[in-house]
Structure 1
């Protein structure tokens, strides 16, 4: 029996174990959000949604460090890699502390801007920001080295600790407050550091990187930071704008809609995590990278289609099961929001694919359409349906231009190869 079990475990590839782990992690994060929605109700959940959105924004900013670490962990070796990661830890600490201080200093202004019940939740959140940046560098190393067991563990510990600590505080202390949620988020960052690659974290002066390598690193950092900014705009601007323009009840309804509709995006994220190191390695080995892109697009398209159809056929059932009857008013918009996020998830694969290949036009395209989405919502927000329609329009246009760029790029590449035969 033991032999059979071991054989089964060994027959599962690390990538498959990581994908299974990501599904569990996303399931845990969804459970966390769903329980908060049920326990707090639409109005109080609107405050919680602001903090959760801030967490997503933070994850996108810190993702710049994670992706850069992952990419160059594939390319670099031995002492050069150690020097590189040590430097990344240093700059991640500086930027993390800077962002954290900004959030703490402007906590009162953030409270007024987003109509929240307290500013303390922003102060507590700000304290944890530097830890999150360190955690992202740590994860980037594991991602680049394809150490998927360690990578999975950091995500699992963060998710489980946030879920258990937050719910424990709510039930034990009987406090239904955004401050409790902020404390749970802060403490979960510490758990997310485990296992920590501490040998690369040093305050000693490390060797200066080669000038050519430094330029590559800086360019990748700048472009990735720019792209992650577009991710923040596209992924989170709608929730923050709705919180600004609508009352707490409407904002709470919309937060539940966004949470359910984004299932497809969060599932797609595990493919992005696998895509980058694979594409970089294939390019390094001189092999074709397009097949891996097609494979992941197919996976995401199938998953997105299933979720959109389910949301269209059973919207009320989905709302009742996940959030309860207090949120039923939002049911008609469920499949439409899922459509917008599905389109974005596919567009996102194109952008990350080209980012891995050091081609940045798709990144610029995403930025343009991210700004367009904000502009459209600012102009057209008479009701929640209008807000969703603006996102569908933007994402359809974004996907069209990303596919057009890919086709054009392939034609140019094929023409160049024929000329050199």
Structure 2
């Protein structure tokens, strides 16, 4: 039964279907990580978790392109949209090819710094970057047009492709686990291209945007790239630093802790994908976008409080159920990591909200705290507990700063 039939049968809106689909995708990705963690054990899982973390890093870079497309597909006049698509595809292919080549040529350096046994996983990543970035352009166009069914198909196909390929390669012992994961990631990008809007013939056609439009695009691209870079730092620097400074077993234990604690972040990301085009549309139509933010915020607060409370009350049960007995030694840190992630996820919701309104000050705030996190973790990492405590402190202060900023903006609007 197709998605369109399901929508008609159960009267599900496109945005609701997208949220359901992303929940399925997140569940699938969790199953993927949990199975690998139980299957491979902490030491090997540390290497696999590194590749998954690098995939998240790549996804944040690609999200810059996706958000750019989503924003300007709404804001630009209809007669400019075809030119915009052609220009974006050309620049995306060019930039992603450079990033891919950097992955390939720096493979030995990356292998050494992250203590991996195989440099060829970075070759596979390099080949996959252009495919992933082109996929992100299509996703951004679908997101901006609020074509959530097409967007859902892309995410579902990518997730199922990664699961099937990785488990097939490892299950039949065709290649060693790190290569199997890297191959699974690469092939999943090809699955995720559908439904694709890119054609090579579009690269041959000349496309020009006005200076004002180009300046607006570059400004948004720059600030979004900076923020996505900040998210990479805040979300993944702890895992990369732990992988570098701690032994394989401790790094594997920490990776499992991070995976459980980040549940709330991925749910909020799902909501942001729906929130962003609605906020941009509300601003365009002269409505108050704060009402949209408030409706999402209530649900997120309930979610974060429930997650942290559950991790505090039942840490050993959760870890044992998800990863097994061999990961249980870090149970005492689970609720603390969940708290750090929840604080950042809440701050992230506000930052994306202001970003969609072309208000970039919260982005600068997040950048400062991202740099502070890396600096502190590199200098203070005597234990895994200290790594988590530093993140709680920084994310709490970041959220407080952004809440004060939001309050100030609301008071200014009400005063007017």
| TM-score after normalising by structure 2 | 0.96
How far did residue 175 of structure 1 move? 4.2
Query: Is residue 300–residue 345 contact of structure 1 (8 Å, CA) maintained in 2?
Result: no
Could you tell me which residue of structure 2 aligns to residue 33 of structure 1?
33
How far did residue 78 of structure 1 move? 3.3
Could you tell me which residue of structure 2 aligns to residue 92 of structure 1?
92
Which is further off, 250-259 or 206-215?
206-215
How far did residue 15 of structure 1 move? 1.1
Cα gap change, 1:215 to 1:384, in 2 (>3 Å) = same
Instruction: List gaps (5 residues or longer) in structure 2.
Output: none
Could you tell me which residue of structure 1 aligns to residue 410 of structure 2?
410
Cα gap change, 1:136 to 1:6, in 2 (>3 Å) = closer
- Counterpart Cα distance in 2 of 1:387 and 1:85: 43
Could you tell me which residue of structure 2 aligns to residue 78 of structure 1?
78
How far did residue 11 of structure 1 move? 2.7
- Counterpart Cα distance in 1 of 2:372 and 2:194: 39
Could you tell me which residue of structure 1 aligns to residue 283 of structure 2?
283
Query: Is residue 103–residue 122 contact of structure 2 (8 Å, CA) maintained in 1?
Result: yes
SS in 2 for 1:358: coil
How far did residue 201 of structure 1 move? 6.7
Could you tell me which residue of structure 2 aligns to residue 259 of structure 1?
259
SS in 2 for 1:258: helix
Query: Is residue 82–residue 200 contact of structure 1 (8 Å, CA) maintained in 2?
Result: no
The correspondence of residues 16-415 of structure 1 with structure 2, limited to 5 A, is 16-173=16-173, 175-198=175-198, 202-415=202-415
Per-residue deviation, residues 375-420 of structure 1 (Å, max 9, x unmatched): 22122211101000000001000000000111111222223x2xxx
Cα gap change, 1:121 to 1:7, in 2 (>3 Å) = closer
- Counterpart Cα distance in 2 of 1:174 and 1:317: 34
- Counterpart Cα distance in 2 of 1:198 and 1:64: 18
Per-residue deviation, residues 155-209 of structure 1 (Å, max 9, x unmatched): 0000000001000011123544201110110000000000101369711233311
Query: Is residue 62–residue 136 contact of structure 1 (8 Å, CA) maintained in 2?
Result: yes
Where do 4+ consecutive residues of structure 1 move more than 3 Å?
Answer: 5-10, 198-201
Cα gap change, 1:180 to 1:356, in 2 (>3 Å) = same
SS in 2 for 1:208: coil
Query: Is residue 22–residue 152 contact of structure 1 (8 Å, CA) maintained in 2?
Result: yes
Per-residue deviation, residues 80-113 of structure 1 (Å, max 9, x unmatched): 1111011111111111111111011010100110
Query: Is residue 40–residue 176 contact of structure 1 (8 Å, CA) maintained in 2?
Result: no
- Counterpart Cα distance in 2 of 1:64 and 1:8: 33
| TM-score after normalising by structure 1 | 0.95
Per-residue deviation, residues 119-165 of structure 1 (Å, max 9, x unmatched): 11111111111100001001000000010000000000000000010
Per-residue deviation, residues 2-61 of structure 1 (Å, max 9, x unmatched): xxx978646322111111111000000111111111111100011111111110000001
- Counterpart Cα distance in 1 of 2:265 and 2:381: 23
What's the Cα RMSD here?
1.4
Cα gap change, 1:198 to 1:10, in 2 (>3 Å) = farther
Query: Is residue 68–residue 140 contact of structure 1 (8 Å, CA) maintained in 2?
Result: yes
Query: Is residue 134–residue 198 contact of structure 2 (8 Å, CA) maintained in 1?
Result: no
How far did residue 321 of structure 1 move? 1.1
- Counterpart Cα distance in 1 of 2:196 and 2:67: 17
Instruction: List gaps (5 residues or longer) in structure 1.
Output: none
SS in 2 for 1:398: helix
Cα gap change, 1:393 to 1:109, in 2 (>3 Å) = same
- Counterpart Cα distance in 1 of 2:200 and 2:146: 17
SS in 1 for 2:275: helix
